[in-house]
Structure 1
Amino acid sequence: MIDPPHYSIFIGQSEQIVIDNFKSFSTRGWSDGIDIMSSSEIRIRDVFMRNSDDCIAIYGSRWDFYGDTRNISVHDSILWADVAHPLMIGTHGDHERNGDVIESIVFANIYILNHHEPQENYWGALAINAGDRNKVCNVLYENIRVERIEQGQLIDVRVVYNKDYNPEPGTSIRDITFRDISYSGRANPSRIYGYDEERAVENVTFVNLRINGELMDAPRPELIDINHFAKNILFVTEKNTVV
Protein backbone atom coordinates (compact mmCIF):
# COMPACT_ATOMS: atom_id res chain seq x y z
CA MET A 1 0.00 0.00 0.00
CA ILE A 2 1.66 3.21 -1.19
CA ASP A 3 0.58 6.63 0.14
CA PRO A 4 -3.11 6.10 1.02
CA PRO A 5 -5.11 9.29 1.71
CA HIS A 6 -6.03 8.06 5.22
CA TYR A 7 -5.81 4.61 6.86
CA SER A 8 -3.93 1.81 5.16
CA ILE A 9 -6.37 -0.72 6.68
CA PHE A 10 -9.46 0.32 8.64
CA ILE A 11 -11.33 -2.29 10.70
CA GLY A 12 -14.66 -1.26 12.24
CA GLN A 13 -17.18 -3.41 14.17
CA SER A 14 -15.76 -6.61 12.67
CA GLU A 15 -14.40 -9.94 13.85
CA GLN A 16 -12.33 -12.92 12.74
CA ILE A 17 -9.84 -11.00 10.55
CA VAL A 18 -6.28 -12.06 9.71
CA ILE A 19 -3.72 -9.66 8.22
CA ASP A 20 -0.51 -11.37 7.09
CA ASN A 21 2.47 -10.11 5.06
CA PHE A 22 1.26 -6.52 4.61
CA LYS A 23 3.52 -3.57 3.77
CA SER A 24 2.50 0.09 3.95
CA PHE A 25 4.10 3.51 3.37
CA SER A 26 2.09 6.68 4.01
CA THR A 27 3.01 10.37 3.96
CA ARG A 28 -0.16 12.44 4.42
CA GLY A 29 -1.62 13.92 7.59
CA TRP A 30 -3.52 11.41 9.76
CA SER A 31 -2.52 8.54 7.49
CA ASP A 32 -2.46 5.77 10.08
CA GLY A 33 -1.41 2.25 9.26
CA ILE A 34 -3.96 -0.18 10.75
CA ASP A 35 -6.77 1.19 12.95
CA ILE A 36 -9.11 -1.17 14.80
CA MET A 37 -12.42 0.07 16.28
CA SER A 38 -15.07 -1.95 18.15
CA SER A 39 -13.76 -5.26 16.80
CA SER A 40 -12.61 -8.64 18.10
CA GLU A 41 -10.54 -11.67 17.14
CA ILE A 42 -8.08 -9.74 14.94
CA ARG A 43 -4.69 -11.33 14.12
CA ILE A 44 -1.88 -9.27 12.57
CA ARG A 45 1.52 -10.71 11.72
CA ASP A 46 4.49 -10.04 9.45
CA VAL A 47 3.71 -6.42 8.66
CA PHE A 48 6.13 -3.61 7.81
CA MET A 49 4.68 -0.12 8.12
CA ARG A 50 6.23 3.31 7.88
CA ASN A 51 3.34 5.69 8.49
CA SER A 52 2.88 9.42 8.88
CA ASP A 53 0.74 8.87 11.99
CA ASP A 54 0.00 5.91 14.31
CA CYS A 55 1.15 2.59 12.86
CA ILE A 56 -1.34 0.44 14.78
CA ALA A 57 -4.14 1.99 16.85
CA ILE A 58 -6.75 0.04 18.84
CA TYR A 59 -9.89 1.85 19.99
CA GLY A 60 -13.43 1.29 21.17
CA SER A 61 -16.34 3.10 19.52
CA ARG A 62 -15.66 5.69 16.85
CA TRP A 63 -17.33 7.05 13.72
CA ASP A 64 -20.28 4.71 12.96
CA PHE A 65 -18.87 1.72 14.84
CA TYR A 66 -19.91 0.83 18.39
CA GLY A 67 -18.90 -1.75 20.98
CA ASP A 68 -16.01 -3.18 22.95
CA THR A 69 -12.71 -4.31 21.45
CA ARG A 70 -10.97 -7.51 22.54
CA ASN A 71 -8.68 -10.36 21.54
CA ILE A 72 -6.28 -8.50 19.26
CA SER A 73 -2.75 -9.76 18.55
CA VAL A 74 0.16 -8.27 16.61
CA HIS A 75 3.24 -10.46 16.05
CA ASP A 76 6.51 -10.53 14.13
CA SER A 77 6.34 -7.03 12.71
CA ILE A 78 8.40 -3.89 12.03
CA LEU A 79 6.97 -0.41 12.67
CA TRP A 80 8.17 3.13 11.97
CA ALA A 81 6.01 6.12 12.95
CA ASP A 82 7.08 9.44 11.46
CA VAL A 83 4.84 11.14 14.05
CA ALA A 84 2.47 9.89 16.75
CA HIS A 85 2.73 6.31 18.06
CA PRO A 86 3.99 3.04 16.64
CA LEU A 87 1.55 1.24 19.00
CA MET A 88 -1.50 2.99 20.47
CA ILE A 89 -4.50 1.83 22.57
CA GLY A 90 -7.51 3.50 24.04
CA THR A 91 -8.21 7.08 22.94
CA HIS A 92 -11.72 6.69 21.51
CA GLY A 93 -14.86 5.12 22.98
CA ASP A 94 -18.57 5.53 23.57
CA HIS A 95 -18.43 8.28 26.19
CA GLU A 96 -22.23 8.72 26.10
CA ARG A 97 -22.81 5.10 27.18
CA ASN A 98 -20.21 4.75 29.93
CA GLY A 99 -17.30 3.97 27.63
CA ASP A 100 -16.04 0.69 26.17
CA VAL A 101 -13.86 -2.17 27.36
CA ILE A 102 -10.64 -2.70 25.42
CA GLU A 103 -9.04 -5.93 26.61
CA SER A 104 -6.90 -8.97 25.87
CA ILE A 105 -4.34 -7.34 23.56
CA VAL A 106 -0.95 -8.91 22.74
CA PHE A 107 2.01 -7.29 20.98
CA ALA A 108 4.93 -9.71 20.55
CA ASN A 109 8.23 -9.87 18.69
CA ILE A 110 8.17 -6.36 17.27
CA TYR A 111 10.90 -3.99 16.10
CA ILE A 112 10.14 -0.28 16.34
CA LEU A 113 12.59 1.58 14.11
CA ASN A 114 11.71 5.15 15.10
CA HIS A 115 9.37 7.31 17.20
CA HIS A 116 9.35 11.03 16.40
CA GLU A 117 6.54 13.12 17.88
CA PRO A 118 6.97 16.85 18.62
CA GLN A 119 3.79 17.20 20.74
CA GLU A 120 4.19 16.06 24.35
CA ASN A 121 0.59 14.85 24.63
CA TYR A 122 1.24 12.24 21.92
CA TRP A 123 4.55 10.83 23.09
CA GLY A 124 5.04 7.11 23.60
CA ALA A 125 6.38 4.37 21.36
CA LEU A 126 4.22 2.01 23.44
CA ALA A 127 1.14 4.00 24.44
CA ILE A 128 -2.09 3.35 26.31
CA ASN A 129 -4.16 6.52 26.67
CA ALA A 130 -7.60 5.62 28.04
CA GLY A 131 -10.12 8.36 27.26
CA ASP A 132 -13.91 8.57 26.69
CA ARG A 133 -14.69 6.56 29.87
CA ASN A 134 -12.87 3.55 28.42
CA LYS A 135 -11.49 0.71 30.51
CA VAL A 136 -8.28 -0.88 29.20
CA CYS A 137 -7.10 -4.17 30.73
CA ASN A 138 -5.10 -7.34 30.14
CA VAL A 139 -2.47 -6.06 27.71
CA LEU A 140 0.86 -7.79 27.07
CA TYR A 141 3.87 -6.24 25.36
CA GLU A 142 6.54 -8.92 24.87
CA ASN A 143 9.93 -9.00 23.17
CA ILE A 144 9.86 -5.50 21.72
CA ARG A 145 13.01 -3.66 20.63
CA VAL A 146 12.89 0.09 20.09
CA GLU A 147 15.84 1.24 18.02
CA ARG A 148 15.47 5.03 17.97
CA ILE A 149 13.46 7.79 19.62
CA GLU A 150 14.12 11.17 18.02
CA GLN A 151 11.36 12.95 19.99
CA GLY A 152 9.10 11.27 22.50
CA GLN A 153 9.34 8.59 25.14
CA LEU A 154 9.42 4.82 25.39
CA ILE A 155 6.20 4.11 27.36
CA ASP A 156 3.10 6.22 27.98
CA VAL A 157 0.35 4.66 30.15
CA ARG A 158 -2.22 7.25 31.18
CA VAL A 159 -5.89 7.65 31.96
CA VAL A 160 -6.47 10.89 30.09
CA TYR A 161 -8.80 13.70 29.26
CA ASN A 162 -7.56 14.95 25.89
CA LYS A 163 -9.56 18.08 25.08
CA ASP A 164 -9.00 17.56 21.35
CA TYR A 165 -10.61 14.10 21.29
CA ASN A 166 -12.28 13.22 24.61
CA PRO A 167 -15.53 14.72 25.94
CA GLU A 168 -14.85 12.61 29.08
CA PRO A 169 -11.70 11.20 30.71
CA GLY A 170 -11.09 7.46 30.72
CA THR A 171 -12.11 5.20 33.60
CA SER A 172 -9.20 2.83 34.25
CA ILE A 173 -6.12 0.99 33.02
CA ARG A 174 -5.19 -2.27 34.76
CA ASP A 175 -3.28 -5.52 34.43
CA ILE A 176 -0.62 -4.46 31.92
CA THR A 177 2.61 -6.43 31.42
CA PHE A 178 5.78 -5.28 29.68
CA ARG A 179 8.12 -8.26 29.23
CA ASP A 180 11.54 -8.14 27.58
CA ILE A 181 11.37 -4.56 26.34
CA SER A 182 14.64 -2.90 25.35
CA TYR A 183 15.79 0.55 24.28
CA SER A 184 19.18 2.24 24.06
CA GLY A 185 19.43 5.98 23.59
CA ARG A 186 18.07 9.22 24.95
CA ALA A 187 14.36 9.87 25.45
CA ASN A 188 12.00 11.79 27.68
CA PRO A 189 10.95 9.93 30.84
CA SER A 190 8.17 7.41 30.35
CA ARG A 191 4.89 8.14 32.16
CA ILE A 192 2.45 6.05 34.20
CA TYR A 193 -0.36 8.35 35.29
CA GLY A 194 -3.82 7.77 36.69
CA TYR A 195 -6.25 10.63 36.22
CA ASP A 196 -7.47 10.82 39.84
CA GLU A 197 -8.13 8.50 42.79
CA GLU A 198 -11.21 6.98 41.15
CA ARG A 199 -9.70 6.71 37.65
CA ALA A 200 -6.41 5.01 38.32
CA VAL A 201 -3.75 2.92 36.63
CA GLU A 202 -3.31 -0.36 38.52
CA ASN A 203 -1.19 -3.50 38.30
CA VAL A 204 1.52 -2.68 35.77
CA THR A 205 4.40 -5.17 35.72
CA PHE A 206 7.77 -4.72 34.02
CA VAL A 207 9.74 -7.93 33.52
CA ASN A 208 13.24 -7.41 32.16
CA LEU A 209 12.84 -3.82 31.13
CA ARG A 210 16.25 -2.93 29.72
CA ILE A 211 17.20 0.70 29.11
CA ASN A 212 20.69 1.51 27.82
CA GLY A 213 21.80 -2.02 28.62
CA GLU A 214 20.66 -1.90 32.25
CA LEU A 215 17.93 -4.12 33.65
CA MET A 216 15.59 -2.06 35.79
CA ASP A 217 14.65 -3.63 39.12
CA ALA A 218 13.05 -0.50 40.59
CA PRO A 219 11.48 2.73 39.29
CA ARG A 220 13.88 5.56 38.53
CA PRO A 221 12.24 8.98 38.21
CA GLU A 222 14.63 10.15 35.51
CA LEU A 223 13.49 7.21 33.35
CA ILE A 224 9.88 6.52 34.44
CA ASP A 225 7.61 9.10 36.06
CA ILE A 226 4.81 7.55 38.17
CA ASN A 227 2.11 9.75 39.69
CA HIS A 228 0.06 9.27 42.87
CA PHE A 229 -2.85 7.70 41.01
CA ALA A 230 -0.80 4.76 39.67
CA LYS A 231 -0.85 1.76 41.99
CA ASN A 232 0.99 -1.54 42.25
CA ILE A 233 3.73 -0.85 39.69
CA LEU A 234 6.21 -3.74 39.83
CA PHE A 235 9.70 -4.26 38.38
CA VAL A 236 11.02 -7.81 38.02
CA THR A 237 14.33 -9.01 36.57
CA GLU A 238 15.16 -12.49 35.38
CA LYS A 239 18.95 -12.50 35.19
CA ASN A 240 19.25 -15.42 32.81
CA THR A 241 17.05 -13.86 30.15
CA VAL A 242 18.79 -12.33 27.15
CA VAL A 243 17.03 -9.36 25.54
Structure 2
Amino acid sequence: MIITNTVNLDQNNLIYLYCLTASPYVQINLTEDLNIYSIESNRLFITVKNVSENEFSEDNIKKNLSNEAWLDKQVRDHISVIGKIMETETVLPFNFGTIYKSEESLKQFVDKYHVDFFKTLKYLENKEEWSVKIYCDKIKIIENISILSKNISDIESQIISSSPGKSYILGKKKNEIIAKEINDIYNSCSRQIFTKLKTVGEEYRLNTLLSNDVSGRDEDMIVNATFLIKNENIENLENISDQLIIEYKNIGLILELTGPWPPYTFIKLTN
Protein backbone atom coordinates (compact mmCIF):
# COMPACT_ATOMS: atom_id res chain seq x y z
CA MET A 1 0.00 0.00 0.00
CA ILE A 2 1.37 3.41 -1.01
CA ILE A 3 0.77 6.22 1.45
CA THR A 4 0.85 9.80 0.26
CA ASN A 5 0.48 12.94 2.27
CA THR A 6 -3.07 12.70 3.63
CA VAL A 7 -2.42 13.66 7.25
CA ASN A 8 -3.83 16.96 8.44
CA LEU A 9 -1.32 18.92 10.46
CA ASP A 10 -2.35 21.05 13.39
CA GLN A 11 -0.42 23.84 15.07
CA ASN A 12 1.04 21.49 17.69
CA ASN A 13 2.61 19.10 15.21
CA LEU A 14 6.16 19.14 13.95
CA ILE A 15 7.45 17.14 10.98
CA TYR A 16 10.12 14.57 11.77
CA LEU A 17 12.30 13.48 8.81
CA TYR A 18 13.60 9.97 8.17
CA CYS A 19 14.92 9.87 4.63
CA LEU A 20 14.48 11.02 1.07
CA THR A 21 13.76 8.67 -1.86
CA ALA A 22 12.75 8.76 -5.51
CA SER A 23 9.57 6.77 -4.77
CA PRO A 24 6.75 7.34 -2.28
CA TYR A 25 6.73 5.61 1.09
CA VAL A 26 5.31 2.10 0.98
CA GLN A 27 3.85 0.56 4.13
CA ILE A 28 6.59 -1.35 5.98
CA ASN A 29 6.34 -3.88 8.77
CA LEU A 30 7.21 -2.18 12.05
CA THR A 31 6.86 -3.32 15.65
CA GLU A 32 4.64 -0.33 16.36
CA ASP A 33 2.54 2.13 14.41
CA LEU A 34 4.57 5.30 13.92
CA ASN A 35 2.08 6.94 11.52
CA ILE A 36 4.69 7.33 8.81
CA TYR A 37 3.83 8.89 5.47
CA SER A 38 5.55 10.73 2.63
CA ILE A 39 5.59 14.30 1.38
CA GLU A 40 6.28 14.87 -2.32
CA SER A 41 8.31 17.77 -3.63
CA ASN A 42 9.88 18.10 -7.08
CA ARG A 43 9.47 14.37 -7.82
CA LEU A 44 11.24 13.47 -4.59
CA PHE A 45 9.61 11.89 -1.55
CA ILE A 46 10.46 12.60 2.06
CA THR A 47 9.47 9.91 4.56
CA VAL A 48 8.19 11.63 7.69
CA LYS A 49 5.98 11.40 10.74
CA ASN A 50 4.27 14.01 12.90
CA VAL A 51 5.68 14.56 16.37
CA SER A 52 4.70 16.62 19.37
CA GLU A 53 6.39 19.81 20.46
CA ASN A 54 6.35 18.31 23.95
CA GLU A 55 9.10 15.95 22.80
CA PHE A 56 10.68 17.50 19.74
CA SER A 57 10.63 21.27 20.06
CA GLU A 58 14.14 22.68 20.09
CA ASP A 59 14.15 23.12 23.87
CA ASN A 60 12.45 19.83 24.69
CA ILE A 61 14.59 17.66 22.46
CA LYS A 62 17.70 19.06 24.16
CA LYS A 63 16.24 17.99 27.50
CA ASN A 64 15.25 14.57 26.19
CA LEU A 65 18.73 13.89 24.84
CA SER A 66 19.86 13.43 28.44
CA ASN A 67 17.17 10.77 28.95
CA GLU A 68 19.05 7.61 28.01
CA ALA A 69 15.98 5.37 27.70
CA TRP A 70 14.12 7.90 25.53
CA LEU A 71 17.14 8.54 23.32
CA ASP A 72 17.88 4.84 22.84
CA LYS A 73 14.32 4.08 21.73
CA GLN A 74 14.10 7.06 19.40
CA VAL A 75 17.43 6.34 17.70
CA ARG A 76 16.55 2.67 17.30
CA ASP A 77 13.22 3.60 15.73
CA HIS A 78 14.95 6.06 13.41
CA ILE A 79 17.50 3.51 12.17
CA SER A 80 14.87 0.76 11.97
CA VAL A 81 12.54 2.77 9.73
CA ILE A 82 15.35 3.82 7.38
CA GLY A 83 16.67 0.26 7.33
CA LYS A 84 13.28 -1.12 6.31
CA ILE A 85 12.94 1.41 3.51
CA MET A 86 16.48 0.59 2.35
CA GLU A 87 15.35 -2.96 1.61
CA THR A 88 13.50 -1.71 -1.47
CA GLU A 89 14.70 1.87 -2.09
CA THR A 90 17.86 3.92 -2.42
CA VAL A 91 17.74 6.45 0.41
CA LEU A 92 19.29 9.71 1.50
CA PRO A 93 19.00 9.46 5.29
CA PHE A 94 18.45 12.44 7.55
CA ASN A 95 20.15 12.65 10.93
CA PHE A 96 18.15 11.69 13.99
CA GLY A 97 16.10 14.61 15.25
CA THR A 98 15.82 16.51 11.96
CA ILE A 99 12.64 18.56 12.38
CA TYR A 100 10.68 20.96 10.19
CA LYS A 101 7.93 23.20 11.48
CA SER A 102 5.91 23.21 8.29
CA GLU A 103 5.44 21.30 5.08
CA GLU A 104 6.04 24.50 3.15
CA SER A 105 9.53 25.06 4.60
CA LEU A 106 10.40 21.40 4.02
CA LYS A 107 9.40 21.62 0.36
CA GLN A 108 11.43 24.80 -0.05
CA PHE A 109 14.48 22.96 1.26
CA VAL A 110 13.98 20.00 -1.09
CA ASP A 111 13.29 22.24 -4.08
CA LYS A 112 16.47 24.20 -3.43
CA TYR A 113 18.70 21.12 -3.48
CA HIS A 114 16.70 18.72 -5.63
CA VAL A 115 19.36 18.51 -8.36
CA ASP A 116 22.01 17.44 -5.84
CA PHE A 117 19.57 15.01 -4.25
CA PHE A 118 18.82 13.32 -7.58
CA LYS A 119 22.53 13.06 -8.43
CA THR A 120 23.33 11.54 -5.06
CA LEU A 121 20.47 9.05 -5.24
CA LYS A 122 21.73 7.98 -8.65
CA TYR A 123 25.27 7.60 -7.34
CA LEU A 124 24.15 5.50 -4.35
CA GLU A 125 21.87 3.28 -6.42
CA ASN A 126 22.65 -0.44 -5.97
CA LYS A 127 25.31 0.30 -3.36
CA GLU A 128 25.46 -0.22 0.40
CA GLU A 129 27.44 1.29 3.26
CA TRP A 130 29.34 -1.17 5.45
CA SER A 131 31.40 -0.55 8.58
CA VAL A 132 34.73 -2.22 9.35
CA LYS A 133 36.26 -1.93 12.80
CA ILE A 134 39.48 -3.62 13.89
CA TYR A 135 40.33 -4.15 17.56
CA CYS A 136 43.59 -5.39 19.11
CA ASP A 137 43.94 -7.83 21.98
CA LYS A 138 47.32 -6.79 23.40
CA ILE A 139 47.46 -9.71 25.83
CA LYS A 140 47.33 -12.19 22.96
CA ILE A 141 50.00 -10.43 20.91
CA ILE A 142 52.34 -10.18 23.90
CA GLU A 143 51.98 -13.93 24.35
CA ASN A 144 53.18 -14.40 20.76
CA ILE A 145 55.52 -11.42 20.44
CA SER A 146 58.71 -13.48 20.06
CA ILE A 147 57.16 -15.30 17.08
CA LEU A 148 55.86 -12.12 15.44
CA SER A 149 58.83 -9.81 16.02
CA LYS A 150 62.36 -10.65 14.85
CA ASN A 151 63.75 -7.87 17.06
CA ILE A 152 62.22 -9.43 20.17
CA SER A 153 63.26 -12.92 19.08
CA ASP A 154 66.86 -11.78 18.61
CA ILE A 155 66.97 -10.13 22.05
CA GLU A 156 65.57 -13.25 23.71
CA SER A 157 68.27 -15.35 22.04
CA GLN A 158 70.93 -12.95 23.35
CA ILE A 159 69.44 -13.08 26.86
CA ILE A 160 69.71 -16.86 26.93
CA SER A 161 73.39 -16.84 25.92
CA SER A 162 74.49 -13.81 27.99
CA SER A 163 75.85 -13.37 31.49
CA PRO A 164 73.39 -12.49 34.29
CA GLY A 165 74.36 -8.82 34.19
CA LYS A 166 74.00 -8.47 30.44
CA SER A 167 70.80 -10.54 30.50
CA TYR A 168 69.31 -8.04 32.95
CA ILE A 169 70.17 -5.10 30.68
CA LEU A 170 68.82 -6.90 27.61
CA GLY A 171 65.65 -7.77 29.51
CA LYS A 172 65.04 -4.08 30.23
CA LYS A 173 65.70 -3.25 26.58
CA LYS A 174 63.21 -5.93 25.52
CA ASN A 175 60.49 -4.44 27.73
CA GLU A 176 61.20 -0.97 26.36
CA ILE A 177 60.73 -1.94 22.72
CA ILE A 178 57.74 -4.29 23.13
CA ALA A 179 55.20 -1.43 22.90
CA LYS A 180 56.80 -0.13 19.69
CA GLU A 181 56.92 -3.61 18.21
CA ILE A 182 53.24 -4.16 19.01
CA ASN A 183 52.29 -0.89 17.30
CA ASP A 184 54.44 -1.74 14.27
CA ILE A 185 52.85 -5.18 13.96
CA TYR A 186 49.33 -3.82 14.25
CA ASN A 187 49.99 -1.01 11.78
CA SER A 188 51.42 -3.46 9.27
CA CYS A 189 48.58 -5.96 9.68
CA SER A 190 45.94 -3.22 9.55
CA ARG A 191 47.34 -1.96 6.25
CA GLN A 192 47.28 -5.48 4.83
CA ILE A 193 43.66 -5.99 5.91
CA PHE A 194 42.61 -2.60 4.61
CA THR A 195 44.26 -3.22 1.23
CA LYS A 196 42.35 -6.48 0.80
CA LEU A 197 39.01 -4.92 1.76
CA LYS A 198 39.52 -1.98 -0.62
CA THR A 199 39.53 -4.33 -3.59
CA VAL A 200 35.74 -4.75 -3.34
CA GLY A 201 34.84 -1.17 -2.39
CA GLU A 202 33.86 1.81 -4.52
CA GLU A 203 34.85 4.31 -1.83
CA TYR A 204 36.03 4.30 1.74
CA ARG A 205 36.40 6.70 4.66
CA LEU A 206 38.66 6.46 7.69
CA ASN A 207 36.76 7.58 10.78
CA THR A 208 37.80 8.70 14.25
CA LEU A 209 38.82 5.84 16.53
CA LEU A 210 36.36 5.20 19.35
CA SER A 211 37.41 4.96 22.98
CA ASN A 212 36.79 1.77 24.95
CA ASP A 213 33.93 3.47 26.79
CA VAL A 214 32.17 4.29 23.53
CA SER A 215 32.90 0.98 21.77
CA GLY A 216 31.96 -1.03 24.84
CA ARG A 217 34.94 -3.34 24.34
CA ASP A 218 38.05 -4.09 26.39
CA GLU A 219 40.20 -4.27 23.26
CA ASP A 220 41.55 -1.03 21.75
CA MET A 221 40.16 0.05 18.38
CA ILE A 222 42.90 0.55 15.80
CA VAL A 223 40.83 0.94 12.60
CA ASN A 224 37.39 2.50 12.12
CA ALA A 225 36.47 2.58 8.44
CA THR A 226 33.40 2.80 6.25
CA PHE A 227 33.11 1.30 2.77
CA LEU A 228 30.67 1.89 -0.05
CA ILE A 229 30.08 -1.47 -1.73
CA LYS A 230 28.19 -2.39 -4.87
CA ASN A 231 25.44 -4.90 -4.15
CA GLU A 232 27.11 -7.41 -6.45
CA ASN A 233 30.25 -7.31 -4.27
CA ILE A 234 28.62 -7.75 -0.85
CA GLU A 235 29.18 -11.51 -0.81
CA ASN A 236 32.84 -11.00 -1.76
CA LEU A 237 33.22 -8.52 1.09
CA GLU A 238 31.75 -10.98 3.59
CA ASN A 239 33.96 -13.82 2.32
CA ILE A 240 37.12 -11.70 2.54
CA SER A 241 36.11 -10.59 6.03
CA ASP A 242 35.59 -14.19 7.17
CA GLN A 243 39.02 -15.17 5.82
CA LEU A 244 40.72 -12.23 7.52
CA ILE A 245 39.06 -12.99 10.86
CA ILE A 246 40.58 -16.47 10.79
CA GLU A 247 43.95 -15.32 9.44
CA TYR A 248 44.59 -12.70 12.12
CA LYS A 249 42.82 -14.26 15.09
CA ASN A 250 45.99 -15.77 16.59
CA ILE A 251 47.79 -12.43 16.81
CA GLY A 252 44.97 -10.71 18.64
CA LEU A 253 43.33 -8.79 15.80
CA ILE A 254 39.54 -8.78 15.89
CA LEU A 255 37.73 -7.67 12.74
CA GLU A 256 34.10 -6.56 13.00
CA LEU A 257 32.07 -6.15 9.80
CA THR A 258 28.56 -4.70 10.10
CA GLY A 259 25.98 -3.44 7.63
CA PRO A 260 24.28 -2.38 5.61
CA TRP A 261 23.93 1.03 7.23
CA PRO A 262 22.15 4.16 5.99
CA PRO A 263 24.69 5.77 3.64
CA TYR A 264 25.39 8.89 5.69
CA THR A 265 29.11 8.76 4.91
CA PHE A 266 28.81 8.92 1.14
CA ILE A 267 26.17 11.57 0.58
CA LYS A 268 27.64 14.05 -1.88
CA LEU A 269 26.11 17.50 -1.91
CA THR A 270 27.79 20.49 -3.49
CA ASN A 271 26.20 22.79 -0.91
TM-score of the superposed pair, with normalisation by structure 2: 0.24
Pair member with larger Rg: 2
TM-score of the superposed pair, with normalisation by structure 1: 0.26
**Hey, which of these two has a bigger chunk of strand by percent?**
1
Which structure has the higher relative contact order (CA within 8 Å, separation 6+)? 2
**Hey, which of these two has a bigger chunk of helix by percent?**
2
